[in-house]
A = this chain, B = another copy of it.
Amino acid sequence: MACFEREAVWSRREMMKAGALVAAGSAIASGAMGFAAEAQSAAGETKADVEQWGIFEASYPGPTGGNPFVDVEFGAVFEQSGKSVAVGGFYDGGGTCRVRFMPETTGAWTYRTQSNRPELDGKTGSFVVSAATAENRGPVRVKDEYHFVYADGAPYRELGTTCYGWTCQPEELEEQTLKTLADAPFNKMRMCVFPKWFNYNHVEPPLYPFVGQAPNHWDFTQFNPAYFQHFERRIAQLGAMGIEADVILFHPYDEGHWGFDNMGAENDDRYLRYTIARLGAHRNVWWSLANEWDYFKTKKEADFERIGETIAKNDPYRHLCSIHQQKVFFDHSKPWITHVSVQNDMPDNAPMYLRKWGKPVIFDECRYEGDIPEGWGDITATRLVGNFWKTLVEGAFCGHGETYLNAKEELWWSKGGVLLGQSPERLKFFKQVVDAAPAEATVLSERNTWGVEGEYYLTYLWDRQHLTQSYKLPAGGRFKAEVLDTVAMTITPVAGTFSETAEIPLPIQPYLAIRVVRI
């Protein structure tokens, strides 16, 4: 009789560190709940709960001969009250096949494996899904066209950063990145699966995603499980800190060095299925098909359409999915694109993008705070922080990155490490202000204003300077006003209370926000 592997994908201790994912880890570590009817009497010595939006994992010994990555088809169908979810499994090396599942509803679930190998086929089991604990709000979804919410309904206001290659660095540097993130305001990380060969990044990673010989002799049909185990451990650690992982599946900054940007459609698709099977059960995963899709010499628009469709077919959870451009926008009306990932620093254009595509808009790359000569990495903190405030009041979201050059060429934007800039502190201030706003806050008809009509107004004037800011407040309401200096990070109450036609006096300086709240 086949039995569950009792080892966790990562150690229990690491799962404990991973906080919100502990529930999932428990399910894995206490995996000996047996399977289906015949197992239920034999097993039952451990109570096996998984949290809603946690990770349930079952693993089985599989064949070791041949190339299991290609030869073995394996997955499972999870069922609850007539509802069924088909999930792909994956070969994790060492003779072990695994299938992972993120239950989106509480209660009892059963499952049955499917495989072209008899020893992996028809295995069954059951488990109970408990309610999510406090920090676990589920995956992020689109709501009301332009907004994001966690599955539990709480607003998710994206405040991302970028460390493209942070999981391909020496252990010590990666740990430093996590330490930095623990004290940073970010709730999303843009990160590549594949290593990056580019300016300031001409180094070999400790591990490679495929079996073979660096730099460019790879067997693309044989994954290196250690590479992906490492990557998914980092995803889980981000998840434990409340950080969404915007996983960039392909990028063009390989340029023939390793050839991961030019594996061919069959290998690309196998890689996608493998990656989705491994990572998909992590509730904090988002898919980004590409960084700068239009910069690819080795893939065309049709390739990315196929890739997008492959993801949609293989991801049972409908994780958020986007594609990032250099100059040419992809056709964001494609049904598998959940939101518009923008590279440019023109938040004034947000309303146009929102209307055009009817989806949330994230300025994932609005240039980075830094001092390198490249035009994408030389803006001031003032400008970068301004982009965040401006995107907010235009109804969109924004992304941070940092490119201060140092002797080790450890630029946050790609390798992670430490943050040197002036923007993270100011983005914390931004986050405090935004977090304190009502959950239903959105763009209002008042110019440059976000909030709740008649209740709460947050106006941002970017680099403008006004003597006054006017509001038409509801008759009978009493409001207090504050002036926020978004650079100095101060909040100054305005004397008096306001109602109906209010003229808030302002100091003559740029980068101010005004907050008007009903008393």
Contacts and interface: CB of A to CB of B under 8 A. Distances in A.
B463 A379 contact: yes
A463 B372 CA distance: 13
Interface string A468-480: 1110000000000
Given A380-B510, A510-B380, A465 B375 contact: no
A26 B372 CA distance: 61
Given A371-B508, A373-B470, A508-B371, A378 B465 contact: yes
Nearest to A378: B464
Contacts of A383: 463, 510
Contact of A379 (B447, B465, B470): B465
Contacts of A470: 373
B380 A466 contact: no
Nearest to A447: B375
A373 B375 CA distance: 32
Contacts of A461: 378
Nearest to A381: B465
A467 interface: yes
A470 to B, nearest CB: 6
A405 interface: yes
Contacts of A379: 463-465
Interface string A360-387: 0000000000111101001110110000
A380 B463 CA distance: 7
A469 B373 contact: yes
29 contacts: A370-B465, A371-B465, A371-B466, A371-B467, A371-B508, A372-B466, A372-B467, A373-B466, A373-B467, A373-B468, A373-B469, A373-B470, A375-B447, A375-B464, A378-B461, A378-B464, A378-B465, A378-B466, A379-B463, A379-B464, A379-B465, A380-B463, A380-B464, A380-B465, A380-B510, A382-B463, A383-B463, A383-B510, A405-B467
Interface of A: 370-373, 375, 378-380, 382-383, 405, 447, 461, 463-470, 508, 510
- For the complex of A and B, the 6 pairs showing the least CB-CB separation, nearest first, are A378-B464, A371-B467, A373-B466, A371-B508, A380-B510, A378-B466
